[in-house]
Amino acid sequence: MIKISLETTADILNVSLDYVEELVIRGVLNDYCDSMDNYILNLNEVIAYRNLRDLDRCDALRELTREAQLLGEYDAPGFDRFEYDRDRLIGENQD
């Protein structure tokens, strides 16, 4: 296990330190050492969370774009050919 700090996690996720702390408190990210508010996180779990979050965002954007296309409000040539490998992204950096 590669251990990383909350600060490093915030950098990887491109979010605030407060938001990372909230993710830990809610149990979305597991902490492995809690001494005097010093959380240590597993890099692989952080990467997996980031990849799933990004996939969810991509799915939402794809759905919004599809709806806009159906309404004739958005024209994206080649959009239907847009593909991404969910399994590869979800499995990235997993032990």
Domain containing residue 28: CATH number: 1.10.1660
Count CA atoms closer than 13 A to 85's CA, side-chain side: 5
pTM of the model: 0.67
Domain that holds residue 27: 3-91
How many domains does one find in the chain? 1
Distance CA 53, CA 40 (A): 21
Per-residue pLDDT tens digits of the chain, which is 95 residues long = 899 999 999 999 999 999 999 999 999 998 887 565 677 899 999 999 999 999 988 888 888 888 888 887 766 665 555 555 666 666 655 54
Edge-to-edge, what's the strand order for the sheet holding 3-5?
A: 3-5, 39-42, 31-34
**What is the model's pLDDT at position 13?**
96
